[in-house]
Structure 1
Amino acid sequence: MVRLDGIGSSTNRRRFLQAAGTAGIAGIAGCGNLVTAGNDDGISYWTLFGGGDGSTMKSIVDSINDETDLDVNRQRVPPDEYYNRLYTALAAGEVPDVAILRSERLREYEDYVVPMTDDIDSSVYADAIMEKVLVDDELLGVPLDAHPYGLWWNKDVFEEAGLDPEDPPNTPEKLRNVCQTITENTDYIGGHIHGDSILAAMFQMFVRSMGRPLLTEDNEPGFDNEDGVAVARYLDEIINERGWVPQDGTAGWEAWNNGEAGFLIDGTWHLSVVREIGFDFGLTTPAVMPDAEKHMTNASSHTLIIPYDESRTDARREKTIKFIRELTQNHAVKWGTDAGHLPASKAALESDDLRNSDAWSKSVGTFYEMSQNGQFAYEPRTDSNTEYLDVIWQRIQSVRLNDVDPETGVKQAADGIRGVFD
């Protein structure tokens, strides 16, 4: 339910004050300049997309403006500033008409958005995606896509190392062989797994593959056990013991982009990057956790929300709803073919334009199969997602850097999570 005071629970009030403190008074005032709609009839739309995603989104919005009377004013906020800016805009009461929100943050924002349950037909979106974005059966954010992680491999490096470039490294045994062969037969690294904040996504992916939840329903750590330790040990083995993946995340990323790494675990968005790199590549499921119960991949969805604004007229709200339908339904194919994401729209997923595209054969089709096989693991939604995920990646990063052993890192992560939710 939307809180008419725009403040919500005491937890979220505190989070708003923290965000405002981070950005400062000048930051809050600056939101007024950022959220201009262009004119009284236009729609202001905040995104955080850059690179290939950003250019694709710009093209889609330009097309919507050409084909309709909506007059959408797209404003891009840098990703590292986006959520602080959105918080402070809400606190200042100067919000955009539409904003992008990742699905795992919907619980945090539920007091500040306008439900669209009665405005948007949820049946037009893929069930595997829609069931992950509903909050207590309320449609608070309309899904644009799913963006899971996959395992990308460099076929040129495989061939140089004497491996079959068409044989995907989609089992633990295959990946071990790939890494060992590449490091023995070439000067390249086995592959790259992102560190820092993205390491929480990797950890969750492997924990879920072991059949454990990242968090229980009571927000207790679901990995404070032998399976969580097994995940940390696996990361420690391939990084510190074997040296197949570098400790330094920047070095690994640069090696991949220079064509000097065998594999990379990254998301749907990487298609627009790897298309420009210049080497032949493949994409497969990241089914590489040893002794997994069922191989899963970390996933999320970009959703479109309507931030609560008591001054928004019914006519403006109707235009906002129309824009959300246009973006998530009528122009969803382009989000798949050009940006590489898995569209949430059923019609887009079933369209010949998508299924006959280069994107489908290169990556999107594989991500679709993963969705149909129930392999998407969305991060648990709480009122404190940023805090608990920070705890996880910081503690597991300590394992990656060989500062603590796997058992200690897991114990510290579990204790840290308990501290977040106490």
Structure 2
Amino acid sequence: MGLAGCSTRNALVGDIASGSGTTVEFWTLFSGGDGATMQSIVSRFNDEQPLGNVQIDRQRIPWNDYYTKVYTALVADKGPDIAIMHQALISRFRQMLTPYNRYIDDSTASQYVPTLWKRMRFDGNQLALPLDAHPIGAYYNRSVFEEAGLDPDSPPTNFREFKNVCDTIVTETDANAFAPSAAMSPIELLRTFIAFDRQRGGQLFNDDLTEVRFNNPNGLRIAQLYHNSTGKYGWDLPNASASRTDVAFQDGNLGIIVNGTWYAAVLQTLDGMDWNMFKPFVAPGKQQNWTESGSHTIVLPRKQSRDREQTQTAVRVAEWLTQENPIWGTQAGHLPAASKLQNSPALRESPLWSKSLSKFSEMASEDQFAYLPRTPFNVNEASTWDFLLDIYSHSTSPKAGLERGAETVQGLIDDVN
């Protein structure tokens, strides 16, 4: 049996001259609201045919299998023409990707937010077109704030204010106050850890990604915050059940939760949910304003069977997907990477603009995104960071947890160097 979404035929098939047209095979991993929005985008392309007689064949592969199948397909030269890839993982695939450089001109860069565009460059090669940024923010339930006697129009801006808000919620309501993750997953806890650690002046690794740097006083302070949140402070329960905090927040039993851009689109669909979001610049000992961010990108896998004209068509499709679809922001909740989309009336007049997207846009323009590092190992492997979940749930102490995590991650680094 072949790979899901993969076949032995050329993905770009047909002959325009014969009237059969051209098909561009596009692999994605999106599900839920993201999946429905991307399906709508592709359907619009196929209906309107903005590039002439060109169609997109969208193949969705489940998240848990996606990168394994992409890798296997690319090694066998049976990959798609274009594919979604998280920017943090591009480094692992860089030898299997075709740089965009030969197929775009100097004006292409101006179509995207500069910081996002530059993030896709490796040794002078443009290995991806950015689709979005998906940073994290601090979402809060306005009704819980009001019940606690807090002003829902004045969310906290530093740790002193943040601690006061959380303590007040616990004292004055039956709700829990704060959770750094909606899914209670190690990767989500890592994202909040990165944001808070960077705010204190710390970082996960040294600049050349050869040494762990989070097992230090900055990292220990954030680990202690996780431990105190479910212990000394009593802001949440030391319970690592999946999605427990997400359910609590949506049910009005949690005041503040950290999550990515997509969460705004989820909350917007809930009848009676009075929510908002603030910039998560509330780490103890904050020196700088940072939030963590990832980015979905579209890459161009290497294919010996694809000629230059076919590759150029695939590039034009990738440009259209990344530059012409404001609903990736208005419906999926992500911050589009294309400059004109961030400035479009469709985005700025959407319900999500005032609540979340405008704040994410401000952070992007002020270069306040700390990206998940582009490590040579799979930084998105949840088990690598499960020590953070153990710290939060009191299965280990902050110091012991960080030491274990640093040893594990340093071992992964050493294995690939």
Query: 1:207 offset after TM fit, Å?
Result: 1.5
Find the residue that maps to 1:298 and give its secondary structure: strand
CA deviations 1:319-376 (Å, max 9, x no partner) are 1011011111122x22112211111111112223322222211211000111122210
Question: For residue 127 of structure 1, what is the aligned residue in structure 2?
Answer: 114
Q: Does 1:351 align with 2:344?
A: yes
* CA deviation after TM superposition for structure 1 residue 387, in Å: 7.4
Give 3-state SS (helix, strand or coil) of 2:93's partner: helix
Q: What is the aligned partner in structure 2 of residue 6 from structure 1? A: none
Which whole-Å CA distance do the structure 1 matches of 2:231 and 2:244 have between them? Answer: 15
Cα deviation digits, residues 47-70 of structure 1 (max 9, x gap): 111222111111111111122222
The answer (yes or no) to whether the contact 1:114–1:306 under 8 Å persists in 2 is yes
Name 1:73's counterpart in structure 2: 57
In structure 2, C-alpha distance between the alignment counterparts of 1:410 and 1:38, rounded to whole Å: 48
The question of 1:416 aligning with 2:408 is answered yes
The equivalent residue for 1:9 is none
Listed as ranges, the matches of 1:1-150 within 5 Å are 29-30=3-4, 32=6, 40=14, 41-68=22-49, 69-120=53-104, 121-150=108-137
Amino acid paired to 2:413: F
Q: Hey, which bits of structure 1, 4+ residues long, moved more than 6 A?
A: none
Q: What are the equivalent positions in structure 2 for 1:158-173 lying under 5 Å apart?
A: 158-173=145-160
Match of 2:266 in 1: 273
User: What is the deviation of 1:35?
Assistant: 8.9
Structure 2: gaps spanning 5 or more residues: 15-21
1:10 maps to which residue? none
Q: CA deviation at 1:217?
A: 2.4
Question: Is 1:176 paired with 2:163?
Answer: yes
Separation (CA, whole Å) in 1 of partners of 2:60 and 2:410: 36
- Are residues 368 and 159 of structure 1, via their aligned partners in 2, closer, same or farther at CA, if it must alter by over 3 Å? same
Equivalent AA in structure 1 for residue 212 of structure 2: P
Identical-pair percentage: 34
- 2:282 corresponds to 1:282: no
Q: Are 2:399 and 1:407 aligned? A: yes
What is the TM-score of this pair, normalised by structure 2? 0.89
Counting only pairs closer than 5 Å after superposition, residues 248-327 of structure 1 correspond to structure 2 as: 248-249=239-240, 250-278=243-271, 279-327=273-321
Distance 1:315 1:36 in 2: 14
Q: Flag the 1:204–1:390 CA change in 2: closer, same or farther, 3 A.
A: farther
Could you report, residue by residue, the CA deviation over 1:112-159 in whole angstroms, capped at 9, with x for unpaired residues? 011002323222111121122221221101001111000111111111
The alpha carbon displacement at 1:402 in A equals 1.2
Q: Tell me which moved more, 246-255 or 214-223.
A: 246-255
Residues 108 and 382, structure 1, Cα contact 8 Å, conserved in 2 = yes
Sort the Cα spacing of 1:115 and 1:62 in 2 relative to 1 into closer, same or farther, 3 A: same
Decide whether aligned partners of structure 1 residues 387 and 154 sit closer, same or farther in structure 2, where only a CA change above 3 A counts: closer
Q: Give a deviation string over 1:234-265, Cα, whole Å, max 9, x none.
A: 11111222221233343212101222210110
Query: By percentage of residues, which structure has more helix?
Result: 1
Q: Is the 8 A contact 2:12 2:81 kept in 1?
A: no
- Alpha-carbon offset, residue 160 of structure 1: 1.8
Give, in angstroms, the shift of residue 183 of structure 1.
1.7
Q: 1:245 to 1:34 in 2, by over 3 A?
A: farther
When normalised by structure 1's length, the TM-score is 0.88
Distance 1:213 1:389 in 2: 19
Aligned AA (1:78)? P
Residue 191 of structure 1 aligns to a residue whose secondary structure is: strand
Which deviates further from its counterpart, 31-40 or 46-55? 31-40
Residues 319, 334 of structure 1: alpha-carbon distance in 2 compared, 3 angstrom cutoff: same
Query: In the alignment, is the contact (CA less than 8 A) between 1:214 and 1:221 conserved in 2?
Result: yes
Cα displacement (A) at 1:38:
9.1
Report the AA paired with residue 307 of structure 1.
P
**Cα distance in structure 2, aligned partners of 1:127 and 1:213:** 23
DSSP-derived class of the 1:385 partner: coil
Distance 1:33-1:309 versus aligned 2 partners, 3 A rule:
closer
Please give the secondary structure, in 1, of the residue aligned with 2:39.
helix
CA contact (8 A) 2:212 2:406 kept: yes
The Cα offsets for residues 179-230 of structure 1, whole Å up to 9 and x where unpaired, read as 2222222221113222323222122112111112211024211222111111
What is the identity, as a one-letter code, of the residue corresponding to 2:188? I
User: Corresponding residue for 1:230?
Assistant: 221
| SS of corresponding position for 1:152 | strand
In structure 1, C-alpha distance between the alignment counterparts of 2:375 and 2:293, rounded to whole Å: 16
Structure 1 equivalent of residue 17 of structure 2: none
Counterpart position of 2:198: 208
SS in 2 for 1:108: helix
- Which stretch of structure 1 is more off in the superposition, 181-190 or 296-305? 181-190
Shift of 1:267: 0.6
Cα distance in 1 for residues equivalent to 2:81 and 2:389: 38
Paired position in structure 2 for 1:13: none
- Find the partner of 2:189 among 181, 188, 199: 199
> How many equivalent residue pairs?
394
Q: Distance in 1 between matches of 2:10 and 2:264?
A: 32
Structure 2 Cα separation of the partners of residues 184 and 263 of structure 1: 15
The answer to whether the 8 Å contact 1:149/1:268 transfers is yes
Give 1:313 deviation, angstroms.
2.4
Question: Do the aligned partners of residues 71 and 267 (structure 1) sit closer, same or farther apart at CA in structure 2, a change above 3 Å counting?
Answer: same
| Counterpart code for 1:274 | L
Amino acid paired to 1:66: D
Amino acid at match of 1:346: S
